[in-house]
């Protein structure tokens, strides 16, 4: 991209919010709303590791933005905007950049965020795209991983396992599904839906004691909450919420339940709340139209230990505890 | 780095400020000081492009952090902290990571900044490191590129040309210098000194109408100010401030004056101020111990056009107008 300042300006300047100053400056200027904290998070994606090598550029962009928004959602933060860095290989031509920018534009409209600034460089290796996302939460009210209390109930939004099975579909490793189920799972992997509205309401409700997004896998991310809170966790396998498509996978291969609970890329929110808050949690689910399942509890025990309880009441052994690709 | 969460935690968690929550969460929580704007900037560096392939990891880290702090300095912002993303090739082992973290620790102490968070991923290509830096400036007072007024004087801090000549030294392309001069120039390239204290005072003084850091080259960065301000600029070549080492280079090769004025990586601050503010600018230089040279002016004319005036009063032709490696 040497010498292609104009190319970048043409495609990215229209994405800049007022804070981005038309990308004419090397910096963004953000007036933080009174009584709020700034919430900052960053995620990097590498071609061939975090997205398929032949993924279309608009999906690469949208997935990267959405995974960052998922981090903010799990903090109860309202997203404002983001900084973008791109290390582009020679084959990323203007059509690729135009597609990438179009993906960002589409999701900026969906999630009401703007580009604050960025940097574009050249690499001889695989494409590396990184976003630092900026959100706001009421002062001192960010949801953390570390606030769970002994006896709190453990919840998760939506359904889990779809992301991992969707990657299998995209890579041709999962046969025998109906076309509709295969398409659903693949879409859940390629274009996750960060739970922004739910996260915001959860943060404002004040009932959540800890939260995390399900990026490494339900068991691993519940473990992050447990570890940061100095507690152990127990998850009931039969309470794990599954989509119809994931249920179809498990009907044919019941042993893959462990994969559903431990594969990553679901971008749901796993959180804890006191048992007496069940009514509030149900009301949040109803308000947002997003199912929330009570899947277990956290309790005094070895910090970070997660037991998965099978149908017989005995702990299950899980082969792998979440993606390690980071 | 698959599965090496603990490795990352061991080396990077000690760098986290209170905003970084011990890196136990996926996000940082920052309470912005009242009456201030948040200033955000990001820069990415690629191995073999922005730093030498065999550069030591502590210098890679410090240079990346410093170039980001230079962006904040040119905005008149006080740096608070940063988010870091690293795409690491297989050969970046624990010793490399330890060295990188040690470099960050050293410069965190120098510049009073902290790690807010980050993401570490694996790549099969060259190492890509990216920082998003966060600073604060009094509300509405960030220095921009776009505020220069017709007739303003143009200034630059320190000396220019050292970064470009230093890269030549590092790559063995510049012979015949004394060892002291060669070491000085190489150090200016490998470990630039962002003008943080000067930038802060310049911002607070209220005299600067526009500012930028000299990363792309004096002529190019003066051009950025001119373009964003809708003005032309004129720089007097003989007013360009040179180090003794750069002067020694030019004594042997006078034609390289154009390189001194157009090569990048100096990380000085170029800025404009009304002619009547010369006394204030001189006082800022005296307070900070950093020389400031008046090198020309901005004036009505084609937006972004920069004329370099030679000793004979005639415009010089410059072969290249600043680095394009981004």
Q: What is the 3-state secondary structure (H, E, C) of chain A?
A: CCCCHHHHHHHHHHHECHHHHHHCCCCEEECCCCCEEEEEEEEEEEECCCECCCCCHHHHHHHHHHHHHHHHHHCCCEEEEEEEEEEECCCCCHHHHHHHHHHHHHHHHHHCCEEEEEEEEECCCCCEEEEEEEEEEECCCCCCCCCCCCCCEEEEECCCCHHHHHHHHHCCCCCCCCHHHHHHHHHHHHCCCCCHHHHHHHHHHCCCCEEEECCCCHHHHHHHHHHHHCCEEEEEHHHCCCCHHHHHHHHHCHHHHHHHHHCCCCCCEEEEECHHHHHHHHHHHHHHCCCEEEEEEEECCCCCCEEEECCCCCEECCCCCCCCCC
The strand ranges marked E within chain B are: 28-30, 36-46, 78-88, 114-122, 128-138, 153-157, 210-213, 232-236, 269-273, 292-299, 306-309, 315-316
Q: Which residue in chain A has the smallest CA separation from B31?
A: A37
- Closest-CA distance of chain A to residue B30, Å: 5
Contact A46 B139 (CB under 8 A): no
Question: pLDDT tier at B4 (50, 70, 90 boundaries)?
Answer: low
Q: What is the pLDDT of residues A145-178, one digit of tens each?
A: 999 999 999 999 999 999 999 999 999 999 899 9
Lowest mean pLDDT among A2-16, A126-140, A217-231, B46-60: A2-16
Average pLDDT over residues B32-49: 92
Residues 223-262 of B with CB under 8 A from A: 224, 227-228
Contact B29 A213 (CB under 8 A): no
Asked if residue B141 has pLDDT above 60, the reply is yes
Asked if residue A210 has pLDDT above 90, the reply is yes
Lowest mean pLDDT among A247-251, B4-8, B48-52, B268-272: B4-8
Q: Tell me, what's the pLDDT at B22?
A: 66
Contact B38 A46 (CB under 8 A): no
- Closest-CA distance of chain A to residue B309, Å: 25
Asked if residue B326 has pLDDT above 90, the reply is no
Top pLDDT among B196 and A310 is at B196
Instruction: Name chain A contacts of B117, Cβ cutoff 8 Å.
Output: 40-42
State how far the Cα of B39 lies from the Cα of B30, in Å rounded to an integer.
Answer: 13
Q: What percent of chain A has pLDDT over 90?
A: 81
Instruction: Name chain A contacts of B132, Cβ cutoff 8 Å.
Output: 40, 42, 83, 85, 132
Q: Which among B1, B41, B125 has CB closest to A125? A: B125
Contact B137 A77 (CB under 8 A): no
**Looking at chain B, how many residues does it have?**
326
Q: Tell me, what's the pLDDT at B319?
A: 55
From the list B150, B151, B110, B116, the residue with the least C-alpha distance to B131 is B116
Q: Give CB contacts under 8 A, 24+ apart, made by B167-172.
A: B167/B263, B167/B265, B170/B52, B171/B52
Lowest mean pLDDT among A4-8, A230-234, A237-241: A4-8
Asked if residue A239 has pLDDT above 50, the reply is yes
Asked if residue A323 has pLDDT above 70, the reply is no
Question: pLDDT tier at B317 (50, 70, 90 boundaries)?
Answer: confident
Q: What is the pLDDT of residues A79-121, one digit of tens each?
A: 999 999 999 999 999 999 999 999 999 999 999 999 999 999 9
Instruction: Name chain A contacts of B145, Cβ cutoff 8 Å.
Output: 24-26
Q: Which among A5, A26, A42 has CB closest to B85? A: A42
Q: Which among B124, B132, B227 has CB closest to A126? A: B124
Q: Tell me, what's the pLDDT at B145?
A: 94
Q: Which residue in chain A has the smallest CA separation from B138?
A: A31
Question: pLDDT tier at A52 (50, 70, 90 boundaries)?
Answer: confident
Q: Tell me, what's the pLDDT at A170?
A: 94
- B211 and A CB contact within 8 Å: no
- B128 and A CB contact within 8 Å: yes
- Closest-CA distance of chain B to residue A140, Å: 8
Contact B126 A122 (CB under 8 A): no
- B41 and A CB contact within 8 Å: yes
Strand ranges across the sheet with A315-316? A210-213, A269-273, A153-157, A292-299, A232-236, A306-309, A315-316
Q: Which residue in chain B has the smallest CA separation from A228?
A: B24
Asked if residue A191 has pLDDT above 50, the reply is yes
Contact B32 A27 (CB under 8 A): no
- A9 and B CB contact within 8 Å: no
Asked if residue B149 has pLDDT above 90, the reply is yes
Asked if residue A9 has pLDDT above 90, the reply is no
Q: Tell me, what's the pLDDT at A319?
A: 56
């Amino acid at each position: 991209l040497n010498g292609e300042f104009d190319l970048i300006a043409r495609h990215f300047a229209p994405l800049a919010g007022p804070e981005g100053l038309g990308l004419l400056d090397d910096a963004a200027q953000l007036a933080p709303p009174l009584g709020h904290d700034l919430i900052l998070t960053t995620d990097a994606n590498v071609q061939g590791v975090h997205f398929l090598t032949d993924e279309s550029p608009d999906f690469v962009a949208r997935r990267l933005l959405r995974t960052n928004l998922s981090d903010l959602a799990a903090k109860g933060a309202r997203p404002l905007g983001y900084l973008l860095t791109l290390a582009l290989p020679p084959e990323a031509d203007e059509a690729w950049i135009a597609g990438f920018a179009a993906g960002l534009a589409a999701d900026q409209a969906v999630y009401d965020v703007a580009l604050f600034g960025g940097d574009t460089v050249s690499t001889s290796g695989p494409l590396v795209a990184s976003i630092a996302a900026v959100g706001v939460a009421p002062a001192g009210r960010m949801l953390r991983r570390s606030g769970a209390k002994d006896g709190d109930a453990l919840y998760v939004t939506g359904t889990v396992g779809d992301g991992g099975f969707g990657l299998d579909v995209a890579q041709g490793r999962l046969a025998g599904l109906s076309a509709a189920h295969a398409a659903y799972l693949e879409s859940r992997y390629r274009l996750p839906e960060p739970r922004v509205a739910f996260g915001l309401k959860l943060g404002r409700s004040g009932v959540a004691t800890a939260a995390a997004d399900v990026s490494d896998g339900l068991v691993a991310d519940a473990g992050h909450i447990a570890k940061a809170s100095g507690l152990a966790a127990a998850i009931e396998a039969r309470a794990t919420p599954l989509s119809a498509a994931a249920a179809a996978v498990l009907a044919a291969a019941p042993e893959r339940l462990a994969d559903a609970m431990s594969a990553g890329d679901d971008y749901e929110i796993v959180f804890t709340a006191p048992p007496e808050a069940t009514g509030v949690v149900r009301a949040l689910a109803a308000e947002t139209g997003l199912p929330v399942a009570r899947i277990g509890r956290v309790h005094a025990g070895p910090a970070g230990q997660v037991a998965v309880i099978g149908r017989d009441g005995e702990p299950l052994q899980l082969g792998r505890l979440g993606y390690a690709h980071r």
